[in-house]
Structure 1
Amino acid sequence: MKSLNKKSDMVPSLASRVKFKLGIRNPFTVAYDIIFGCPGWLQGLIIANDQIKAQNARRVMIIGAETLSRVSDPHDRDSMIYSDGAGAVILEARACDSETGIIAQLARTDAGHEAHYLAMKESNNPDVEGHEIYLKMQGRKLYEYALNQVPQLVKSCIEKAKLNITDISKVLIHQANEKMDEAIIQRLFNLYNIAEVPKGIMPMIINKLGNSSVATLPTLLDLILKDKLPGHQISHGQNFVFASVGAGMNINAVVYKF
């Protein structure tokens, strides 16, 4: 979208514009956008990992950028926590003596009735002029979906890595609702018959930065790497879980060994 105009400006793709701005002239540096809702950045990480392992790429930049302010309805209280943000990482393969990087990944899409839990619809205010549409959510259904599906997918991803929840140092999860995230992490530990969630395992930034959708996870990672989240650091050999849920409905998870 361009300033003062809410109509989509989709061509050229955002990835192509970034490539142009960076002055990358190599035609085999392929640039493309991924539309995957809030889990989009993490899905980009999964795709990049697959491309590197297939020797189709050596180094991949994954960017998560969101401007929810352009699609939020000022007459909808669900929009109060929306925020804008962006984050990027570069993923590359390096020779090392021990296993590091992405050691397991998993994703799913539920596109039955779940597909409409997040959708573009008219304003809550019937007197709004024009025919603008805004991001709308079915909050209760989305909450129940996330609570029922996210913990199990994360557990399956941890099992795929041949690890236990006790091997995980941090869980970095997309932050759309703090109450929902707390319920998800509690249910995840309950799946392992553990009643008490370790303090500090799930760093939260939603109270300061809101819900920036696809930008949440890279922003959270950046804050930890820069020691800007007291009590949260990354040490060599630690296993982190990244997880997200959003429009689609899509869920994904990655186990990453630092």
Structure 2
Amino acid sequence: MTTRAVVLGVGHYLPERLVPNSELETLVETSDEWIRTRSGIERRHFAAEGQTTSDLAIRAARAALADAGVEADTVDAIILATSTADLTFPAAATMVQAGLGMTRGFAFDVQAVCAGFVYAMANANALILSGQAKRVLVIGAETFSRLMDWSDRSTCVLFGDGAGALVLGAAEGSGTTADRGILSTDLHSDGQFRDLLYVDGGTSTGTTGHLRMEGKEVFRHAVEKLAETAHAALEKVGLTGGDVDWIVPHQANIRIIEATAKRMQVPMDRVVVTVQDHGNTSAASIPLALSVGKARGQIKPGDLVVTEAIGGGLAWGSVVLRW
């Protein structure tokens, strides 16, 4: 028998404020057509005044726990993927832990920008396979609207706020690809590309800073690296794109999503797409899409799912799991 990290439940939360492209037309020189054509985004959500990343994460976590039918005090660990933590320290995950009323276990943040949730899933899988935890709450949550330079129309129209969460639990499998749970992971980073996507603030400047991006270069790297990491994760367990029921990609840009699916030879009707409704929510993107995909009736028990993401660092990776 083989231990697997199986998805027990999934949930998400979006802030109440819905921001259509038409509203951004009043803030920056842009148009609904320009945004849709270049990104596929139609609307996004922004956190309210005083609403923090941990607030969003707590709501998504509660939804996932309810979906799993488990109580927070049965969770051994919380891993929160975010680049927009409430404070420099402590970890926002500890604030989620307190918000859920947990007084046991441990909690920490993972920071790999848009690839953060994939990294968090890989860490949760390792904790479960090693026996250090039997049940892990994995969350992606962001308030990227607070990092925008509202004079930069190339970036400020792309991002939104939100949170998604999964509950992973240890289960016994046969050791084959028919098992439910995480089958393989594949992680990469290359710091020589850090200037392609970054925030120009931090301890070196004493400011929060704003997001900066070389869009064309990020696009080129994304299409190439996302397909490569997805193929690598599938190859580790002897699978191919033809075996995949659903790709649940990082929701950054519809053109990247389409180009990656084409390279993987997976038709778009087997790709979960939410970018039109949420924009780029960074580390929250994949768990949001997983939760919405399940709610839509797309992702069903037994389906083979591939998630892949790339973000600042550059950091990228993928997870293959059977739902």
TM-score interval for Structure 1 and Structure 2 normalised by the shorter chain? 0.7 to 0.9
- State the Cα distance separating 1:199 from its structure 2 match: 4.0
SS at match of 1:44: helix
- Deviation per residue, 1:193-249 (Å, 9 max, x gap): xxxx4241112111111111111111111112222xxxx522332211011110111
1:80 corresponds to 2:160? no
Aligned equivalents of 1:249, 1:241: Cα separation in 2: 20
Partner residue in 2 for 1:133: 209
Partner residue in 2 for 1:125: none
Aligned equivalents of 2:224, 2:134: Cα separation in 1: 37
Partner residue in 2 for 1:117: 196
Aligned equivalents of 1:136, 1:184: Cα separation in 2: 23
SS at match of 1:62: strand
Conserved? CA contact 1:86–1:219, under 8 Å: yes
Amino acid at match of 1:104: S
Measured on the aligned residues, the alpha-carbon RMSD in Å equals 2.3
Amino acid at match of 2:318: A
Which protein has the bigger helix share?
A: 2
- State the Cα distance separating 1:188 from its structure 2 match: 2.3
- Deviation per residue, 1:123-173 (Å, 9 max, x gap): xxxxxxxx7620010101111111222211111111112112111011010
- Deviation per residue, 1:82-125 (Å, 9 max, x gap): 1000111111112356511011110100111x111111238xxx
2:114 to 38, 42, 48: 38
In the TM superposition, 1:221-240 aligns within 5 A as: 221-227=290-296, 233-240=298-305
Aligned equivalents of 1:153, 1:7: Cα separation in 2: 27
**How many residues were matched structurally?**
236
Partner residue in 2 for 1:192: none
Amino-acid identity (%): 29
SS at match of 1:200: helix
2:258 to 163, 179, 182: 182
Aligned equivalents of 2:273, 2:166: Cα separation in 1: 20
SS at match of 1:186: helix
Partner residue in 2 for 1:94: 171
User: Normalising by structure 1, what TM-score?
Assistant: 0.85
2:267 to 161, 175, 198: 198
Conserved? CA contact 1:102–1:256, under 8 Å: yes
1:9 to 65, 83, 87: 87
Aligned equivalents of 2:299, 2:113: Cα separation in 1: 27
Q: Which runs of 5+ in 2 are unaligned?
A: 1-48, 53-83, 202-206
Aligned equivalents of 1:182, 1:92: Cα separation in 2: 32
1:218 to 270, 273, 287: 287
2:315 to 225, 250, 258: 250
Aligned equivalents of 1:88, 1:75: Cα separation in 2: 32
2:186 to 85, 92, 106: 106
Which protein has the bigger strand share?
A: 2
Structure 1 runs, 4 residues or longer, greater than 3 Å off = 2-8, 95-98
Amino acid at match of 2:308: A
Conserved? CA contact 1:161–1:255, under 8 Å: no
1:22 to 100, 123, 140: 100
